[in-house]
Amino acid sequence: MMIFTQIDVSELPAPEPMTNILSALGQFTQNKVITDQCLVVKHRRQPFPLYERLIAAGWAYHCEVNTSDDILLFIYQQTAQQKFEQSLAAFLRQQLSQHLSQQLANLSPLNKADTSE
């Protein structure tokens, strides 16, 4: 199973998103267990200039476009393609479950402040 590490660069001005992504990948390389690691990046757009650099360095990527300004980018070692594919569905199910739980908690009347006096 892969370990998914998440970072959010969606509010950063250029070139900070690329710098932060490459720095996080550098941390994976230092840990020497890079085939078990996947970096999940929340971004506001697809970082096309980054893609060539990733491939040249032995990384692969998968992009989930939720909306035009809400992108999830998964970055993992090219040699870990099969492991990534097996782990992605479980990761997305977990994220959806957490999101739905938060939405239900927000709708629950028990979580709303008592407005009666």
The predicted-structure confidence for 17-48, as pLDDT tens digits, reads as follows: 999 999 999 988 887 767 789 999 999 999 99
Predicted confidence at residue 99, as pLDDT, reads: 79
The 10s digit of each residue's pLDDT in 77-87 is 999 999 999 99
Closest CA to 14 of 55, 44, 40, 41: 44
Select from 3.30.110, 3.30.70, 2.60.40, 1.10.3470 the CATH code of 3-107. Answer: 3.30.110
Q: Which residue has the tokens 């078990």?
A: 36
pLDDT top residue among 114 and 4? 4
Predicted confidence at residue 109, as pLDDT, reads: 65
Domain residue ranges in the chain = 3-107
pTM for this one? Answer: 0.81
Instruction: Give helix 16-31 / helix 48-56 axis angle, nearest 10°.
Output: 20
Predicted confidence at residue 108, as pLDDT, reads: 63
CA angle centred on 62, ends 61 and 66, rounded to 5°: 140
Sequence letter at residue 27: Q
Predicted confidence at residue 105, as pLDDT, reads: 84
Predicted confidence at residue 103, as pLDDT, reads: 82
pLDDT of residue 110 exceeding 70, the answer is no
